[in-house]
Chain A
Amino acid sequence: MSAEHWFAIFVSTVIAATPLIYAALGELVVERAGVLNLGVEGMMLVGALTAFAVGHSTGSLLLGYGAAMLASMALALLFGFLTLTLQTNQVATGLALTLFGLGLSAFVGRSFTGLPIHGLEPVFHFDWVVYGSIVLFALVSVFLKRSRLGLQLRAIGESPSAAHALGQPVIGIRYAAVLFGGATSGIAGAYLSTALTPMWVEGMSAGRGWIALALVVFATWKPVRVLLGAYLFGGVTVMQLFAQGFGVDVPSEILSMLPYVATIFVLVVICRNPRTILLNQPASLGKSFHPDT
């Protein structure tokens, strides 16, 4: 293995990790506000299709990313309306969002299957979305830990009734968090269809939205560990591609299982101790809040 070879592995790892970083950081903010959005996969798919469709027809990827963010935010708004205003069950609504996103993107995307798109241009090995992921990580870390609004958001996630009693706009901030999660899922999806594999295929996120959800648990709701976890997963994904290079004689189907097996494995390692979860998980996660109670 030469130095270039290792560098190529490093580059692919970072690129494979990038969509996970966006999706997981967004979901982390949502969950810190006490909302569990299981619709990441659906929002990513809609984002992926929108970015591809707009990028293909206008030729501008920037417009594509903007449209992808808006489309995924629209889905997030729907989720917010159902869970925050109508107080439906968050798990069921999140599942509905994923199934809806899957169906919607497959339906609209039929005419875009097999079309080419000019992918993102790298600037010094990476494209701007990769650099953006680091910036987003820094922003989310500072926001949650050092800003007044971040403190409000965390307080709402721990105890919405206490925050409400102090006059905090619980529902408003939760809406904002859900919309933020929608926007980052949109970018994550857009990255799949414009950079990772520049094309549109039905169901192309292949469970990455769910892996992002698992990453948030793995990270025990801390941004820095999301970043580490995403690179770990990126590495596992890339390992399949480079395994042959190492002379590993394992069938490709077994190697393809690796990211999913790894997800289960790290979940077990983190969740094994109930106290880890109890101490780190936002106390109101997944519970509806009604201002009257």
Chain B
Amino acid sequence: MRFGAPLFAALAMLITGACVFAAMGQQPFSALYLFFVDPLMSAYGMGELLLKATPLMLCALGLAHGFRANVWNIGAEGQLTLGAIAGGGVALFWGAALGKFALPVMLCAGVLGGMAWAAIPAVLRTRFNTSEILVSLMLVYIAQFLLVYLLHGAWRDPEGFNYPQSKVFEDSQILPTLAEGMRANMAFILALVLAGVSWIFSTRTFAGYRMLVAGLAPAAATYAGFSEKRNIWLALLIGGGAAGLAGISEVAGPIGRLQLSISPGYGFAAIIVAFVGRLHPLGIVLASLLMSLLYLGGESVQLSLQLPSAVTGLFQGTLLFYLLAADLFVGFRLRVKPRAVPEPMARPQTEATP
């Protein structure tokens, strides 16, 4: 039943979407068709779907480990930016020296960059008791300013007419695409591998089990002697590393250089993806495809109906709201007889545990 809630939420979002389109003077059904079906009608469109799903999937898979352990890393956007900066820096300064090893080193640097950025909230939470929610979010803004600073200064392309962007990466520094004429690249395969590894980690390893217990029953975790600090560190490093990989895959993929805007809020949308996917790797894979479709649909209605593409953000927020509410109704139906137990919906993340 817990898998019914996302379906219900998606359906409710569609109905709301139809109402929004109708309110804007559009034919609701043809607008919905343009939004949700038309982008998928071509091979190129399917490629774009995978392309945009990749960073969402990577970020959400990492974040889900944290959410499951009650660690609220909401700064994936910043960790993504740092991953792009670290990996992009390798390409710009050591790309020539590394030759054909450049790409793997870039990917590793991206992961490490994201991890380093996530290590800041981890240190502050474990050593200074500081909320990782606020710290990780503040670091999103700081990361963006760092990128702006670098691109206006030392990392700017000297032949780029003063545009705040780096020089274009070499072909050998760009992730190979999945097929000819398609922009989706190997990062999608990496994301699928990560989904498999995530599943094994959370269901088949002791470390994953410890994080699960810490999220479901913090008191039990303490009683069992599971280190809270280790869980926090692990959760943030996994989340940061995955987001960093998403960042470097974007700049060493469809973008091909460092520029001011790397992500249209993938790091934040990934929070929604993680919840809609019930914090389960397979669910996240599916949810990231849906969320990717929301981005494509936004672009599609902008092109064909001149509606603002910001409708994507509206749909994303609505989806999460419906999901949170739907969780409750799904839970209600499961009850055979009324009992005075603590609310099952008090913590949605506990619902998603396998």
Q: Chain A CB within 10 Å — which of B74, B139, B145 has the most?
A: B145
Residue positions of A touching B, CB distance < 8 A: 38, 78, 82, 86-89, 91-93, 95-96, 99-104, 106-107, 110, 202, 206-207, 210-211, 213-214, 217, 251, 253-254, 256-257, 260-261, 263-264, 267-268, 271-274, 277, 287-288, 290, 292-293
Residue positions of B touching A, CB distance < 8 A: 72, 74, 120, 124, 128-131, 133-135, 137-142, 145-146, 148-149, 152-153, 268-269, 271-272, 275, 308, 310-318, 320-321, 324-325, 327-328, 340-343, 345-349
Which of B74, B135, B272, B345 is within 8 Å of A87, CB to CB? B345
Whether B124 pairs with A107 at a CB distance below 8 angstroms is no
Q: How far is the CA of A95 from the CA of B149 in the complex (A)?
A: 29
Which of B74, B140, B141, B153 is within 8 Å of A251, CB to CB? B153
Which of A89, A107, A277 is within 8 Å of B347, CB to CB? A89
Which of A99, A273, A288 is within 8 Å of B343, CB to CB? A288
Which of B120, B275, B308, B347 is within 8 Å of A110, CB to CB? B308
Which of B131, B138, B343 is within 8 Å of A217, CB to CB? B131
Whether A89 pairs with B346 at a CB distance below 8 angstroms is yes
Whether A96 pairs with B317 at a CB distance below 8 angstroms is yes
Other than A91-B133, A202-B310, A293-B343, give 4 A-B pairs with Cβ distance below 8 A. A82-B325, A88-B328, A100-B317, A271-B131
Q: What chain B residues lie within 8 Å of A88 (beta carbons)?
A: 324-325, 327-328, 345, 348
Q: Give the residue name and chain of the A residue nearest to B350 (CB).
A: A89
Which of B129, B153, B312, B341 is within 8 Å of A271, CB to CB? B129
Q: Give the residue name and chain of the A residue nearest to B338 (CB).
A: A292
Q: How far apart are A216's CB and chain B's nearest CB, in angstroms? A: 10
Q: What chain B residues lie within 8 Å of A256 (beta carbons)?
A: 145
Whether B321 pairs with A78 at a CB distance below 8 angstroms is yes
Q: How far is the CA of A210 from the CA of B132 in the complex (A)?
A: 12
Q: How far is the CA of A126 from the CA of B328 in the complex (A)?
A: 48
Q: What chain A residues lie within 8 Å of B152 (beta carbons)?
A: 251, 253
Whether B271 pairs with A99 at a CB distance below 8 angstroms is yes
Q: How far is the CA of A254 from the CA of B145 in the complex (A)?
A: 7
